[in-house]
Structure 1
Amino acid sequence: MRRIAASAPAGGALALLLGSLALLAAGCGGGRVKDWQVGGLGTTLTQIQHRARSEGKLDLVVRPGFPTNLPVAAFTRQTGCEVTTRTATSVDLVDSKATKGSDGVLVAGDAMLRLIDKGMVAPVNFDLVPGYRDVVEALKGRLFDTVEGTGYAVPQGRAANLELFRTDYLPSDTSSWAPIWSPSLKGRISIYDDPIFIADAALYLETTRPSLRITNPYELDGKQFAVAIRLLRRQRQIIGEYWNTATIKEQVASFASGQSLVGTTWPRQVALLEAEQPPVAVTAVKPSEGATGWADAWMISSKAKHPNCTYLWLDYVVSPEANARVAELFREAPSNTRACEFTTDAGYCDAVHAQDEEWWKDVHLWTVPQKNCGAARGDVCKSYDDWRKAWVALRTGRPE
């Protein structure tokens, strides 16, 4: 079997999760698309630019939680493509309704391979995206967006999942994930509500339970997975709130009020808290055990109605200035190596470690868990289907 190259419940979020689980079981879509030539797409940049003028339209979908106020005015002036941007209607982008009618979609690494496997997106011909050459090398050809040497995405940016805590309750030099697992903070812990959070448990166990021999938090065999789920079930008893892409502002309010004292968060919430008045006594760190994280990237629908406008967007959005502006919207490190010259805040790239590759070495970017763990281990790992079923069982209080 080939290995794909890569990374009381909240009612609304849980309902979406249960619904997408049923959809996954039923199956949808076809197999992987291997040809980059989407119907009607030109074969040269000149041809694409000409055909885009005739298309005159571009429909984009961004994953839940990502801003929709993208810098599109200059793009429309340059290309003649009027842009419509909307948020996916489901947290699970593999739900065909979530991105229905879209030409391009902004996706995180925990969904890319599933979209690829369902035939919902097409490969990218990077020769027709000149700006791709300036993308940081660490984001090219990654396991979460590349299959058997074929790339399917143009990176937008990357970010780490951070530990956020109130410095008026926890020591300001806190540098471990230990507090989010501590019973002493029962009811004051805030945790991301998604199956991919299982990887955060695995990462913590990699350090605290070395006998498990976890080397990749997204590649867990039966024993490793079982221990991670047991840890998460114990944590469930002490969590004060679960948050998701729809409740980002609620997490901010929870820390601002002091209801939550520690938890996992994204750089965007940190920025929102930093802007609070009066100031909130919080800080966010990448703990010593390392962190999980994600890369966002643009993909083209295999059934795009406006493929030429889509290709021009892929090139435009990864250009230095546009890439900087979009990255700042979501507090990500931009993917273009020259983008830092165009950020509105001169210190922005230092704050998000955009050019500090050493900092990223222990950030494990989200990938879709696969049954196959590579030649050395074979088909012994738990798949994304297993992860999702286990998370639903945990959140609903069902037995393992």
Structure 2
Amino acid sequence: MRSHVIRLGLALTACVALVASCSSGSGGGTGEEPPKIEPLGALGAGEGQLNLIAWAGYAENGSNDPAVDWVTPFEKQSGCKVNIKIGNTSDEMVQLMRSGQYDGVSASGDATLRLLYAGDVAPVNTSLVPNYETISGFLKDKPWNSVDGQMYGIPHGWGANLLMYNVDVVRDAPNSWGAVFTDAGKYAGKVTAYDSPIYIADAALYLSKSKPELGIKDPYSLTAEQLDAAVELLKAQRENIGEYWSDYTKEVQAFESGTSVIGTTWQVIANTIGSENKVQVNTVLPKEGATGWSDTWMVSSKAAHPNCMYEWMNWITSPQVNAQAAEYFGEAPGQTKACEFTTEKDYCDIYHATDQEFAAQIHYWTTPQKQCVDGSGDNCTTYDEWVDKWQQIKG
């Protein structure tokens, strides 16, 4: 069904995960006012070069597959020669951007605020990116990509962290995250979970519904007490975990071999398993909602080639190119008009690309900070604290 997913295996193996864990001490993100940096006022001539940090699969130039290339046409049109540095984790991307050697980055939500508050990225003048107008509204002006209505990037693509299960083993068609938390003992040793401190938010989301007395309103805005509750839930889950995954190919193999039968997943993983017809799996967006990701192209505050970067942001979010990138990678395109250009005509339906009701149930990855990202106060736990807790959970 999805031959491009097979081709993507090499790229995503290098990528490891859309938002792999950010290590302690990687800087930025106090939650206070960001540095005063003016966005580009007007487009000028391209500078002839563009240095990008990107997730594998986001800036394909034909080197992985000659048939997959949207960088070369951009170079010909813009005159901007593109140099691509693959970022394997969000933490690596943050460190690379700090060097000042790159013009832009495809940042995920656990990196964006760190870059923003550290002054490593500049606000974006969206009027200089014509294709921004038709990007899905539910991706704009959000806590992970804007401050006080000022966008700090252009949304690229997004997806949900779903619950997946082997239908031949898990027969009760679960519709709650309780299946991998409170009921995980039913599948002891065959439960799988995403390997990152940001996964703490999944536990917090479940607790926000199952234990409302904890007062969790936002899974990324946790007080010390709320964080401890999520950690206890995850420690209990740990007893039933057979394998944590960050490389998506590992989860594919685990479900196909039967060593995993239920756990958190991405739709692209389920589609890959389905295309190989080795086991039958189902995915569901549980009744509590789900965490997820929204990736954003951000401009370095030290960009040597800002005009080329703006041209790139408009190019990568143009309908045809955004369709190519999203379909190759395995996520929903940010551009609403991209759905007209996907190879698989039902692609956008499968990924709920323009489904606002579906998107509203997703709590997109956002960097936890002392200044609560939901605006509730200044007594929340930081990502560094989450990193420490995650290490305790895994032992």
TM range (shorter): 0.7 to 0.9
Equivalent in 37, 53, 59 of residue 61 of structure 1:
53
Distance of 2:21 and 2:194 partners within structure 1: 17
Q: Residue 22 of structure 1: CA displacement? A: 4.4
C-alpha change, 1:313 and 1:95, in structure 2 (3 Å) is: closer
User: Any conservation in 2 of the 1:18–1:392 contact (CA below 8 Å)?
Assistant: no
Match of 2:245 in 1: 243
Match of 2:227 in 1: 225
Equivalent in 42, 45, 65 of residue 44 of structure 1:
42
Match of 1:114 in 2: 114
C-alpha change, 1:67 and 1:283, in structure 2 (3 Å) is: farther
Distance of 1:24 and 1:393 partners within structure 2: 21
Match of 2:149 in 1: 149
Match of 1:271 in 2: 271
Match of 2:95 in 1: 96
| TM alignment of 1:1-400, pairs within 5 A | 20-24=23-27, 32=35, 34-37=37-40, 43-45=41-43, 48=44, 51-52=45-46, 55-63=47-55, 66-69=57-60, 71-93=70-92, 95-97=94-96, 100=99, 101-171=101-171, 173-181=173-181, 182-244=184-246, 247-276=247-276, 278-373=277-372, 377-395=376-394, 397=395
What do you get for the CA RMSD once the two structures are aligned? 2.5
Distance of 1:253 and 1:190 partners within structure 2: 12
Distance of 2:178 and 2:116 partners within structure 1: 36
User: Any conservation in 1 of the 2:274–2:280 contact (CA below 8 Å)?
Assistant: no
Q: Residue 93 of structure 1: CA displacement? A: 4.0
Residues 189-226 of structure 1 deviation map (CA, whole Å, 9 limit, x = unaligned): 11111111111001111121121122211111222111
Distance of 1:319 and 1:300 partners within structure 2: 18
Distance of 2:179 and 2:143 partners within structure 1: 31
C-alpha change, 1:143 and 1:279, in structure 2 (3 Å) is: same
Residues 281-300 of structure 1 deviation map (CA, whole Å, 9 limit, x = unaligned): 11111111111111011111
User: Any conservation in 1 of the 2:368–2:381 contact (CA below 8 Å)?
Assistant: yes
Which amino acid counterpart does residue 44 of structure 1 have in structure 2?
A
- Percent of paired sites with the same residue: 41
C-alpha change, 1:252 and 1:376, in structure 2 (3 Å) is: closer
User: Any conservation in 2 of the 1:176–1:287 contact (CA below 8 Å)?
Assistant: yes
Residues 108-134 of structure 1 deviation map (CA, whole Å, 9 limit, x = unaligned): 111100111122111111111111111
Which amino acid counterpart does residue 112 of structure 2 have in structure 1?
M
Which amino acid counterpart does residue 310 of structure 1 have in structure 2?
M
Match of 2:9 in 1: none
SS of 1:34's equivalent in the other structure is coil
Which amino acid counterpart does residue 225 of structure 1 have in structure 2?
L
Distance of 2:273 and 2:379 partners within structure 1: 42
User: Any conservation in 2 of the 1:103–1:300 contact (CA below 8 Å)?
Assistant: yes
Q: Residue 33 of structure 1: CA displacement? A: 5.0
TM-score (norm 1): 0.84
Q: Residue 61 of structure 1: CA displacement? A: 1.3
Distance of 1:18 and 1:328 partners within structure 2: 25
Distance of 1:94 and 1:118 partners within structure 2: 14
User: Any conservation in 1 of the 2:87–2:93 contact (CA below 8 Å)?
Assistant: no
Which amino acid counterpart does residue 258 of structure 2 have in structure 1?
G
- For structure 2, the residue ranges without an aligned partner over 5 or more in a row are 1-15, 61-68
Which amino acid counterpart does residue 271 of structure 2 have in structure 1?
A
User: Any conservation in 2 of the 1:164–1:265 contact (CA below 8 Å)?
Assistant: yes
Q: Residue 267 of structure 1: CA displacement? A: 1.9
Match of 2:65 in 1: none
SS of 1:201's equivalent in the other structure is helix
SS of 1:358's equivalent in the other structure is helix
Which amino acid counterpart does residue 34 of structure 1 have in structure 2?
I
SS of 1:96's equivalent in the other structure is helix
Distance of 1:62 and 1:255 partners within structure 2: 29
User: Any conservation in 1 of the 2:22–2:90 contact (CA below 8 Å)?
Assistant: no
Which amino acid counterpart does residue 32 of structure 1 have in structure 2?
P
Q: Residue 105 of structure 1: CA displacement? A: 0.8
Which amino acid counterpart does residue 141 of structure 1 have in structure 2?
D
Further displaced range: 357-366 or 379-388: 379-388
SS of 2:386's equivalent in the other structure is helix
C-alpha change, 1:105 and 1:259, in structure 2 (3 Å) is: same
User: Any conservation in 1 of the 2:54–2:87 contact (CA below 8 Å)?
Assistant: yes
User: Any conservation in 1 of the 2:146–2:152 contact (CA below 8 Å)?
Assistant: yes
- For structure 1, the residue ranges without an aligned partner over 5 or more in a row are 1-12, 38-42
TM-score (norm 2): 0.85
Residues 262-317 of structure 1 deviation map (CA, whole Å, 9 limit, x = unaligned): 111112212221221x4421111111111111101111112222211111001111
Distance of 2:374 and 2:365 partners within structure 1: 21
Q: Residue 380 of structure 1: CA displacement? A: 1.9
Which amino acid counterpart does residue 199 of structure 1 have in structure 2?
A
C-alpha change, 1:326 and 1:305, in structure 2 (3 Å) is: same
Which amino acid counterpart does residue 78 of structure 1 have in structure 2?
Q
SS of 1:305's equivalent in the other structure is coil
Distance of 1:204 and 1:66 partners within structure 2: 31
Q: Residue 73 of structure 1: CA displacement? A: 2.3
User: Any conservation in 1 of the 2:315–2:321 contact (CA below 8 Å)?
Assistant: yes
SS of 2:356's equivalent in the other structure is coil
User: Any conservation in 1 of the 2:22–2:89 contact (CA below 8 Å)?
Assistant: no
User: Any conservation in 1 of the 2:160–2:293 contact (CA below 8 Å)?
Assistant: yes
SS of 1:233's equivalent in the other structure is helix
SS of 2:320's equivalent in the other structure is helix
Q: Residue 376 of structure 1: CA displacement? A: 7.6
